[in-house]
Amino acid sequence: MPIAGILTGGGDAPGLNAVIRAVVRRLEPEGWRVVGILYGWRGLLERQTVELDAQSTSGILHVGGTVLHTSRTNPYKSPDDAQRLEANVRALRLDALVAIGGEDTLGVANRLAEAGFPVVGVPKTIDNDLPGTEITFGFDTAVSIATEAIDRLHTTAASHDRVIVVEVMGRHAGWIALHAGVAGGADYILVPEQPVDLEAVAEAVRRRRQRGKRFSIIVVAEGAKLGDSEVVQEGPQDEFGHGKLGGIGERVAREIERRTGAETRSVVLGHVQRGGSPTAFDRMLASRYGVLAAELVLQGRFGTMAAVRDGRLQAVPLREAARGLRTVPEELLKFARVFFA
Ligand code: F6P
């Protein structure tokens, strides 16, 4: 009986369980045994596995997080781990490995595939910044949560005549900030793609006040840069070299208050954007990615990734996921500026 391994790596995203369920549901009737690898690449290093079947993956479609757990383990950080990783893929007798993740997880998956292992990728990140695909699952849910939060912040900002700066996720790209900002009617949106111009934000707030609008909502992506650098919190970097972002919202808020005299607050939405149930859109997208990944396994099309290209679900080379980042294009930023104050 052929064996397929499946793992989830990096930050969790709503829809991971829908992919797991879909892969199992497509492979099991074809006579495949499916083994879940716990905690991403760490589980492959430590051989932590769990049997998956239609029964054990029933009832998880609408559940957030990942039943397989996750980690930010980078097995290629040390040559010993890299060797152990490859030895364990052989020892577990995996005929296929489905890796669900973002730039880091799929970067590892791609190296494994290039070393000749039978790997298929599924693109995941709430940040929506993975190249090779037009959309990752988890993004729609994050945008919905952030938009609802912005709606709620509107009423409290308006009641107090305050400026509220909302910090949303988005390490390298401003997709969440842009979509939730436009959908939530933000008065200014700051993204990592462009240097933060604090005077332009202050001027937008002043303009609104002159028009009799005594409150403003500013959305900022956590990865937006003040000068040349992101605002990071103290603490060690993860195994892929990423610092812990956070704090730009408060820095922008203080500066806006100083420049405009308007009372200002900042709110960090943080991991709320990643938690809980996926939207119907993400359940559907994740299920489609899962079924396609299983088809690619059945067809032996390894070294590929399920993706959306030109609005159509299709397989692309896995190496495309490891090719930098997909940032927000200038055209979309220009569109969003129409709605700035
Ligand atoms: O990569 C997705 C992401 O949600 C980023 O937007 C954010 O910077 C990061 O993960 C947070 O990671 P952690 O869960 O390790 O705090």
DSSP element (H, E) containing 144: helix 139-160
Residue 310 burial by Cβ neighbours in a 10 Å radius (0-12, 13-18, 19+): exposed
Q: Which is catalytic among the residues 127, 129, 140, 187?
A: 127
Q: Which of 71, 106, 171 to mutate to test the pocket of ligand 1 (most atoms within 8 A of CB)?
A: 171
Query: With bands split at pLDDT 50, 70 and 90, how would you rate the model's confidence at 229?
Result: confident
Residue 328 half-sphere exposure toward CB, CA atoms < 13 A: 26
Dump pLDDT digits (tens) for 30-71: 999 999 999 999 999 999 999 999 999 999 999 999 999 999
CA distances from 266 to 175, 190, 207, 249, 280 (A): 20, 14, 20, 6, 30
Residue 235 burial by Cβ neighbours in a 10 Å radius (0-12, 13-18, 19+): exposed
Neighbours of 103 (CB within 10 A): 23
Query: With bands split at pLDDT 50, 70 and 90, how would you rate the model's confidence at 228?
Result: confident
Pairing of strands 119-123, 49-52: unpaired
The verdict on the CB of residue 177 being under 6 Å from ligand 1 is no
